Amino acid sequence: MSEQHSKARHRRGRKALAVGVPLALTAAGTLAYGTDLGLLGERAQHKASAATTATPAWATATADGFASVNSLGQDGTYGGRDGQIVTVKTQADLEKYATAAEPYVIVVAGTITMNPVGKEIKVQSDKTIVGAGTSGHIVGGGFFLGQGVHNVVIRNLTIRDAYQGIWNDKDHDFDAIQMDGAHHVWIDHNDLRHMADGLIDVRKDSTNVTVSWNKLSQNNKTFGIGWTENVVTDITIHHNWIRETEQRNPSTDNAAHAHLYNNFLEDVAGTDIKSSYGNYSRGRTAMVLENSYFQGMNNPVTKDSTATLVQRGNVFSGTSGRNESGGTAFDPKAYYSYTPNSAASVPSLLKSGAGPRSSIGTTGSAASTKAATTLTVAKDGSGQYSTVQAAVNAVPANNASRVVIAVKPGTYRGTVKVPSNKPHVTVQGTGGSRKDTVIVYSNAAGTPKPGGGTYGTGGSATVAVEADDFQARNLTISNDFDEKANQNLSGHQAVALRTAADRVFLDGVIVSGDQDTLLVDTAAKDKLGRVYMTHSYVVGNVDFIFGRASAVIDRSVITLKKRWDGTSGGYVTAPSTAADRKGILIANSTINGDVSDRSFYLGRNWHAGGDASLDPQTTVRNSTLSAAVRTTPWSDMGGFSWKDDRFAEYKNSGAGAGSASSERPQLTDAQAGGQEVADWLGDWTPTAS
């Protein structure tokens, strides 16, 4: 990529969690969807009223939060993972398998209307009950988990409409999910609404419960915890969207440890349902409440004088009444690992990510419902293939299911191309570090091709990804082109990784080069191309994150590198975004390196081929900037003024951060609310597979 002109190219033991979303999630987050442990494999499968289903990938996941903690003889929560898989469409079949003594994965593949109204099926231990896509509905009833029931997962279901016409109904105790003395329960990605009593009741010393990524709405009593004088319950509540509910949002009574984070409590203006209170720490509860978003709630946070409640990082918009805290509570990280999203991102994150998802269960994409094939690569001959490209070549054309290329530690010198007709490929290093497995080559734009001509920028890539739904993790992708030794070449742009596809997930990788390290492109100018990079490193000096894709660099480190001659100076980003697309978003990350102070721009506007219709975009937010960043961090390119395009910052910190000016645009809070990670990703939730 030329520097001088427009580019004419385009209490219990602590247990660590593996990264999953989302998430959520989170998270992805984070991460937030739990850890896929692999599918159940070939086994005899029972039949219910319909044919058996292939194993839903998420049906084998394990819980995060307190449900992941090893206690009471149960190490984590994974439901019916070790049992047989059945698909049910009738109440009789659902009840048959849910109440059985054996473990089962029960896939609900239609609407089941409970008879009599209000019936709660008595679920037994070691069960996963998961909706098939968005088709799994339980109408007019729910589930009950009694004393000692444990290791239960309820996911991706809609449970609704037991309401009997009386708002504060004392006569019909019809809950969506009730537990009395259960433990190790995970309630995830459900839509719970319009019941006669509670949506979720966690009662009578139930413990080791995680409630995540649910939509809770249209109800009086939302979520009650307690009904005991004992201080026993450990519960994690994260990434839930609670809206149009009146009370118990949740109400937490005598909980030993209640950890609430990244929830969105919304009292919708103009409706008949008014909130009386939000999160409530009652009795002797110890509560930690962080990075949640409260919109329009009355009495958003309340506590009894006997309870403790620690608040941090929450956002309150249009709220009124009690907002309380006090005491020291506890440190959730003493029990499990987690990484909360910023509170400002929560509304958009949950609006797009909470509730049942079409990609869970049997009606999701084929790639999510079939067991992954694994191909092994090893330089020493111990794998099926000795090069990564040979393994890619072995992937069937137009493959419908995930293929994991497991690459053993070593340095693999050569180029790799994943063509557009080979989607659902994961390339994963198997070493203990992302540095153990390295794919590297040294082509540059001006390098002569064997058949004549030169490679050009895109053609110089060490790894080129043209297939959708690609993932890479735990490895290094590098271009080690030696600029100093090749001053005679016409082009020094040397790409390490080029993506020209949609839904590219880069997790725990290093992408390293000098000029034009990471090219995030699309398959065509009118095509959407989304890239999500997290927990990774990008190393370079000139325009080293560039292209027209909608790309997110999240929770990563961007390392600035000196030029071949020892000088400092360069540009982090060079977006060439279409006017109706999102460009490059750097969020929750760090930009630093062993370079001179005030020598690097955050970006410049690339109107590829002189195309005036483009509207390049880079946003850098909630990130730490070293002193290497210039005080005027944006630059013109190719005769186009960056001020006519989309360049901005939001709440950055560090020596390289600066206040708002005409040379340094800063987003308002309202603008930042529309420039979150979820806004970039849309209906795609990156999930490790």
Q: Tell me which residues are annotated as active site.
A: 516, 543
For 420, residues 6+ apart whose C-beta sits below 8 A from its C-beta are 466, 467, 468, 501, 523
**Residue 446 to residue 1: CA distance in whole angstroms:** 11
- Owner of token pair 């195309």: 611
**Spatial separation of the C-alpha atoms in residues 109 and 114, rounded to whole Å:** 15
Measured CA to CA in angstroms, residue 545 lies from 461, 519, 531, 573 at distances of 13, 6, 12, 5
Backbone angles phi, psi at 438, to 5 degrees: -125, 125
Sign of CA dihedral 155, 161, 164, 165: positive
**How far is it, in rounded angstroms, from Cα 190 to Cα 212?**
9
As a whole number of angstroms, the distance between CA 94 and CA 100 comes to 10
Return the closest-CA partner of residue 459 out of 509, 516, 420.
516
Token look-up 């968005």 returns: 134
What does residue 248 show for φ and ψ, rounded to 5 degrees? 55, 65
Sign of CA pseudo-dihedral 15, 18, 23, 27: positive
Which residues are CB-neighbours of 661 under 8 A, at least 6 positions away? none
Residue 586, SS3 per DSSP: strand
Residue corresponding to tokens 């293929």: 403
As a whole number of angstroms, the longest Cα–Cα distance in the chain is 86
Strand locations in 207-307 (E): 207-212, 215-226, 233-238, 241-247, 251-253, 255-261, 264-266, 279-282, 286-290, 293-295, 301-303
CB count within 10 Å of CB 13 equals 11
Strand partners, 28: 25
Q: Tokens 């360049």 label which residue?
A: 647
Q: Which two tokens stand for residue 470?
A: 């690609």
Token pair belonging to 361: 């269960």
* Residue 337: CA count within 13 A, CB half-sphere: 11
Q: Mapped to the 3 state alphabet, what secondary structure does 18-68 carry?
A: CCCCCCCECEEECCCCCEECCCCCCCCCCCCCCCCCCCCHHHHEECCHHHH
Distances in whole angstroms, Cα of residue 205 to Cα of each of 83, 145, 179, 254, 363: 27, 12, 9, 9, 37
Tell me which residue has tokens 């990524």.
213
Spell out the SS3 assignment of 379-440: CCCCCCECCHHHHHHHCCCCCCCCEEEEECCEEEECCEEECCCCCCEEEEECCCCCCCEEEE
Q: Are 505 and 474 in contact (CB under 8 A)?
A: no
Task: Decide: helix, strand or coil at residue 669.
Answer: helix
E strand or H helix at 459, and its extent?
Answer: helix 456-459
